[in-house]
Structure 1
Amino acid sequence: MKHTMEISGMRLLFDERLILSDVYMKIETGDTVGLLGRNGCGKTCLMRGVYGTLECEKSVIIDNISVYEAYKKPSLIRYLPQHHFIPKYLTLKRVFRDFAVDFERFTEFFPVFQLWENTKIGHLSGGMHRLVELYVIIKSDAKFILLDEPFTHISPVQIETIQSIIDEERSCKGFLITDHLFKRIQESCNQVYLLLNRKIHYVENEDDLKKMGYLF
């Protein structure tokens, strides 16, 4: 079954500063949508607004149903923030059980974790901690996945593996991914948008990004 998420009328003010204005975006099952933008332009605010952890004017419609606090409905949306969110005292076994994700399959992709099922998250390096969080979010049973700077602290080889996993999962999910690097977004996504001057702009190629001043 194909799922659709439509984001419209998103508007966000911090004090008197307008951060987002009339944002519109549509994501469907099979889409991997990339969101580019400079630091501080509002990419994280947009994601948190969609997820419901940042209050703002918005309309989020999933399969013709209005969803305001999506974070309360993990079967609809999962969100990977930029910071670590899994507590360090939890073991890998507990994390994978809580997210209902297969640990054995994870170790097929990343064999280094094979003997670490009972290891606490806090004993992992920052990069491995991030990799675990990224994987369980991507593999979670949700219709839409929001990934905020997912490739930070991940090695190039691991990024390639993650991109292949996203390609597998998009058959039943829609993805929204932010990153600073156009090349990485270009490799991972079939649609690209630029957040510029508080609005969303569709990007077809690098020339568009040059015209809008994002690339030089």
Structure 2
Amino acid sequence: MINKLEIDSVQLQFNSKTILSDVYLKCETGKITGLIGRNGTGKTSLIRIIYGTLIPNHKSIRLNEQNIQTPYKREELISYLPQSNYIPKQLRLKRIFSDFELEYSFFESYFTDFKTKYNSTINQLSGGQRRLVESYVLIKSNSKFVLLDEPFSHLTPLLIESIKELIIEEKVNKGFLITDHLYNHIVGINDDLYLLANQKTHLVKNMQEIASLGYIKEE
């Protein structure tokens, strides 16, 4: 069964300044949905609205045509990777993988640098290693939808490619919504792509359409 998560009629204002206006976005299981846009256009705000931790002036969020009010309270439905670290720094990797019901042996076979870190606290990792762990456990989680805000930050090119491969593998089981300033990594793996510009989302199909909205220069 294909599950469909939709948000529309989004209105968001801060101090009388309009950030988002009549925004619509759809994410489906089995697909990778990309969200790109210049800094300050409201990408993170939109993701937080979808997750339910930012209350806008108006919104409508639906799962399979049914309204949902607080998605973040349903772990089986949705998970969210924020730009900032979210796993408590004192937790050991052993505990983290246990809590997410994931096999550490599979993780360390994929990322061999972690073979000696099973009992390490997440605070003992480098910034890139910490981002990798936080992204991995959500990508492999049991949620129907995973929202990833800047998942490639602090990662080496090799690790970025590994994370992209995992996302592609896991989309069979869930839907992904990804935003990142490294837009080339999103454009390369997305099924659907939205550009946030002029306070609205635009479903775009090619680089020409992206350029016409002023996000990149036309070649």
Q: TM-score range by the shorter chain?
A: over 0.9
| Partner of residue 212, structure 1 | 213
- Find the counterpart in structure 2 of residue 59 from structure 1: 60
Aligned to 2:110: 109
- For structure 1, list consecutive stretches of 5 or more residues without a partner in the other structure: none
Please identify runs of 4+ aligned residues in structure 1 that moved more than 2 A: none
Cα deviation, residue 64, structure 1: 3.1
Aligned-pair identity (%)? 48
Q: When the two structures are aligned, how many residues end up with a matched partner? A: 216
- Residues 9-18 or 74-83, more deviating: 9-18
Contact 2:25 2:194 survives alignment (8 Å) = no
Are the aligned partners of 2:194 and 2:203 in contact in 1 as well (CA < 8 Å)? yes
Name 1:175's counterpart in structure 2.
176
What CA deviation, in whole Å up to 9, does each residue of 1:80-126 have, x standing for no partner? 00011111100001111112222111112101111211100110001
Q: Does 1:20 align with 2:40?
A: no
Q: How does 1:153-192 map to 2 (within 5 A)?
A: 153-192=154-193
CA distance in 2, matches of 1:157, 1:72: 34
* Alignment-derived partner of residue 150 in structure 1: 151
Provide the rounded CA distance (Å) in 2 between the counterparts of 1:181 and 1:114: 29
User: What CA distance in whole angstroms lies between the structure 1 residues aligned with 2:216 and 2:74?
Assistant: 38
Partner of 2:77: 76
- Higher mean alpha-carbon deviation, 129-138 vs 187-196, is at 187-196
- Structure 1, 22-31 or 122-131: larger mean CA deviation: 22-31
TM-score, scaled relative to structure 1: 0.97
The unaligned stretches of length 5 or more in structure 2 are none
Give distance in 1, aligned partners of 2:60 and 2:77: 15
Contact 2:32–2:178 at 8 Å: present in 1 too?
Answer: yes
Query: Structure 1 counterpart of 2:193, which letter?
Result: V
1:50 equivalent in structure 2: 50
1:135 & 1:33 partners in 2: Cα distance? 18
TM (normalized to structure 2)? 0.96
Aligned AA (1:27): C
Corresponding residue of 1:7: 7
After alignment, is 79-88 or 184-193 more displaced?
184-193
1:86 is matched with which residue? 87
Question: Deviations along 1:188-215, whole A, 9 cap, x unmatched?
Answer: 2111111001100111111112111111
Return the alpha-carbon distance in structure 1 between the equivalents of residues 213 and 12 of structure 2.
22
